[in-house]
Structure 1
Amino acid sequence: MSIRTDRTPIHWNYFLAIEEDIADLTRWIEFHESNFKCFSIQLARVLMVASAEADVIAKKLADNIKPESGARNIRDYQKIIMDAYPKFDTHTVEIPRYGLSFTPWSNWGQPDTSPLWWMANNKVKHDRSNCFDQASLENVLNSVAGLFVLIAIYYQSQTSSVTPAPSLFEPSSFALVDGDWLVFRRG
């Protein structure tokens, strides 16, 4: 008996686990604009996990693009990633099941700015007693969409596709879902 193994894309599996957390939320919170400002402990947990992973992937992506940069924070990553991918801030992610569309990096169209969900995460992380309401559904969905964009751009330089495809989130222009695969577009 033999077992064939392939290298597991660990960051992709981590994203899928976060996406499962989002799917679980749909049993308790209707993904509707009237609920975008709701907040909770579970939303805070997902916001912090997704934002932390976005930080990891943004650093890896920036290091791949410009290894000598010494990039250490979101604003360092912004300059490097936007120089390499000038349309990065326009990438859109959808959750068709709920008719939602996100452009989570749109703030990066302006130099030295962080996404609103990133700033919300920092407020929740560093001043939770005063800013707990920043752990909102809106910020959580944008942070996971932002992570999705980062991971897709990161993996597209290494492979042409990953499996399984996401179950809720769908890319606009940077990738496409083909059956059980997420296929990356080049360029």
Structure 2
Amino acid sequence: MQKIPHVILASKSPRRQELLRLMDIDFRVVLKDVDESFPEGLTPPEVALHIARKKAEAFDETVGDEVVLTADTIVCIDGLILGKPETREHAIEMLQRLSGRVHQVITGVCLLYKGRYNNFYDLTEVFFRKLSDAEISNYVDKYQPLDKAGSYGIQELIGLIGIERIDGSYTNVVGLPTEKVYAQLIALNK
């Protein structure tokens, strides 16, 4: 395995933490409060990148030899960004909108290392089959996906029974494009 600097993961997402563990990357979690608003007129990839960069900028640029890794994942359909649902009803509404359609999952990533910012994103297209109202309600009640963009986790029930296929990175849909993150972390030492 290539040498990777120690990582500060600025995310409370258990999914991102698990992905880094599976990648055998040494990391610790440090959280900072960040305003996740963004200017109007940005494209969905620009929104994800903007928020990831804001999260990185919350850290002092002198974090030593550690890499600050921040990320923001958004779900987009018909140019509309679906954030995290605010209520059970909102989650159901989002899943009904995604049902039987194709949408994009975009994760913006920012690596802050030795005062330099490296920003990149990944985009995956997700194809949902038509979901019944009962399937949607059961999922929302059982998994309570209020902490997930677009109201679902690909690794949970609705992803297992509802996603026909994806075009792009699976881990991007989970919340972190591990292939790109790994390549960029390796490049830091070159």
TM-score by length of 2: 0.26
As a proportion of its length, which structure holds more strand? 2
Q: How high is the TM-score relative to the length of structure 1?
A: 0.27
